[in-house]
């Protein structure tokens, strides 16, 4: 929806005399400029996450364009089918949230969480399920939505578990792929971007649970994770 259209909708809503007072107030408030500083409204803290980024690999506009494209492909492929998107927490939630707004057919979403042991910038291949799906997938068309495929161990394990539940079909859409790092073969239907062998952050991807809120994909400065040895033996949620 273009900004003019949404402004029109807000204007229409404001004219509706049936609107509860609180709804009217929030609609009016969202028309104010965002930065309302002053007494009681301190400016938001500036967290210098960008300073840890060595380079922007994929900028926001390029990401959004590709995600929209993938949404159209998925809508075409699954038209008329009972589609459920499975997001692997937590890295893929930002991708999923943007992707589903470009999917124009009815579908459901569900979540799984896995963990792997090992150094925090490398996957060891030992995977454990922390959270399982809420609903059965038997006979349904399943699309696993991933943030990044690195060695492929996490996804390969997950696909085996899901396949055993007899879905009508099982495919993968990943935002990022590091083909140079692959240790197990995986059939990936849609890849947003193949990237070089660098540790990346942003748009859902983390290092030590941070940087997920960056709107672009960036390369983390090596000195940031070279100091992170203390994390090595911890169990890391992906
Ligand atoms: P794999 O099992 O080696 O394929 O690792 C997959 C998981 O490791 C992803 O879902 C990510 O959570 C994490 N991962 C791998 N590479 C990166 C990266 O460059 N940045 C952030 N997380 C990564
Ligand atoms: Mg992670």
Whether 17 and 97 share a structural domain: no
Please answer whether residues 177 and 66 qualify as being in contact, where contact means their C-beta atoms are separated by less than 8 angstroms.
no
pLDDT tens figures, 191-201: 999 999 999 99
Atom of ligand 1 nearest to the CA of 198: 19
Whether 67 and 183 share a structural domain: yes
Whether 71 and 188 share a structural domain: yes
Cβ(236) – ligand 1 distance below 6 Å = no
Q: Name the nearest CA neighbour of 217 among 203, 207, 198.
A: 203
Whether 30 and 83 share a structural domain: no
Please answer whether residues 152 and 182 qualify as being in contact, where contact means their C-beta atoms are separated by less than 8 angstroms.
yes
The residue whose CB lies within 8 Å of the most ligand 1 atoms, and thus the one to mutate among 52, 122, 147, is 147
Whether 3 and 69 share a structural domain: no
Active-site position among 52, 98, 147, 150 = 150
pLDDT band at 11 (very low <50, low <70, confident <90, very high): low
Whether 25 and 54 share a structural domain: no
Whether 7 and 60 share a structural domain: no
pLDDT tens figures, 143-154: 999 999 999 988
Catalytic residue check, 2: no
The CATH number linked to 141 is 3.40.50.2020
Whether 203 and 87 share a structural domain: yes
Cβ(202) – ligand 1 distance below 6 Å = no
Q: Name the nearest CA neighbour of 84 among 156, 154, 135.
A: 135
pLDDT of residue 199: 94
Give the structural domain span for 2: 1-44
pTM of the predicted model as reported, rounded to 2 decimal places? 0.84
The residue whose CB lies within 8 Å of the most ligand 1 atoms, and thus the one to mutate among 52, 91, 126, 179, is 91
Whether 94 and 204 share a structural domain: yes
Q: Which two tokens stand for residue 33?
A: 């400029």
- CA distances to 29, 51, 119, 212 from 43, in Å: 17, 20, 37, 21
Overall domain count for the chain: 2
């Amino acid at each position: 929806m273009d900004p003019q259209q949404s402004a029109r909708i807000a204007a229409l809503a404001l004219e509706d005399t049936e609107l509860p007072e609180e709804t009217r107030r929030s609609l009016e408030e969202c028309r104010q400029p965002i930065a309302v500083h002053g007494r009681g409204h301190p400016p938001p803290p500036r967290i210098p996450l960008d300073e840890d980024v060595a380079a922007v690999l994929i900028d926001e506009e390029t990401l959004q364009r590709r995600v929209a494209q993938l949404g159209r492909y998925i809508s075409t492929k699954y038209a008329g089918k009972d589609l459920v998107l499975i997001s692997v927490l937590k890295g893929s939630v930002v991708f999923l949230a943007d992707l589903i707004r470009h999917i124009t057919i009815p579908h459901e979403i569900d979540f799984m969480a896995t963990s792997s042991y090992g150094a925090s910038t490398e996957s060891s291949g030992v995977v454990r399920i922390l959270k399982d799906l809420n609903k059965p997938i038997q006979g349904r068309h399943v699309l696993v939505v991933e943030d990044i495929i690195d060695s492929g161990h996490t996804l390969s394990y997950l696909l085996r578990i899901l396949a055993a539940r007899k879905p009508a079909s099982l495919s993968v859409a990943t935002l990022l792929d590091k083909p140079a790092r692959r240790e197990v073969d995986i059939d990936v239907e849609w890849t947003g971007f193949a990237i070089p062998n660098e540790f990346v952050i942003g748009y859902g991807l983390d290092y030590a649970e941070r940087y997920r809120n960056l709107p672009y994909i960036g390369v983390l400065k090596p000195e940031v994770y070279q100091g992170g040895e203390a994390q090595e033996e911890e169990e890391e949620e992906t």
